[in-house]
């Protein structure tokens, strides 16, 4: 199952510490996130971790595909106050094992 690095970013005015509506949404929906992840087949490996002063959160998840991760972000409502960036991640050893399939270095 592929691993994805999820970064959620919001502006300071959309932060749960500044917006009462966002705070209400976060406090009301945070308990449902593990249940939704399980329903969609998303395994939360690490996180969510909050980078408070940077107005970001990060998580590492396993899922069948990026579409499933996107569905999770949408259904959870996280997309309502965050910009989401989802990147495929892999162990360094796996990336290095493919070096012979990459064209020769250009520099």
Pick from 76, 82, 69: nearest CA to 13: 82
pLDDT tens, residue by residue, 3-28: 999 999 999 999 999 999 999 999 98
Kindly list the structural domains of the chain, giving each domain's residue range(s) and its CATH number in brackets, ordered by start. Answer: 3-101 (3.30.70.1060)
Average confidence (pLDDT) over 67-81: 95
- Main-chain phi, psi angles of 92, to 5 degrees: -55, -40
pLDDT of residue 29: 82
pLDDT digit string, tens, across residues 22-53: 999 999 888 889 999 999 999 999 999 999 89
Strands 3-9 and 83-89, by their bridges, are antiparallel
Q: Rounded to the nearest 10 degrees, what angle do helices 33-40 and 66-76 cross at?
A: 150
Mean pLDDT across 60-74: 97
What's the pLDDT at 93? 93
Residue-level pLDDT at 8: 97
Percent of the chain with pLDDT over 90: 82
What pTM did the predictor assign? 0.88
């Amino acid at each position: 199952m592929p691993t994805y690095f999820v970064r959620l970013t919001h502006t300071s005015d959309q932060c749960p510490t500044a917006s009462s509506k966002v705070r209400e949404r976060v406090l009301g929906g945070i308990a449902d996130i593990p249940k939704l992840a399980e329903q969609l087949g998303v395994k939360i490996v690490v996180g969510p971790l909050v980078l408070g002063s940077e107005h970001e959160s990060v998580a590492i998840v396993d899922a069948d595909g990026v579409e499933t991760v996107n569905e999770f972000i949408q259904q959870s409502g996280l997309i309502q106050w965050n910009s989401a960036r989802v990147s495929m991640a892999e162990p360094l050893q796996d990336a290095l094992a493919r070096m012979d399939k990459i064209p020769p270095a250009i520099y």
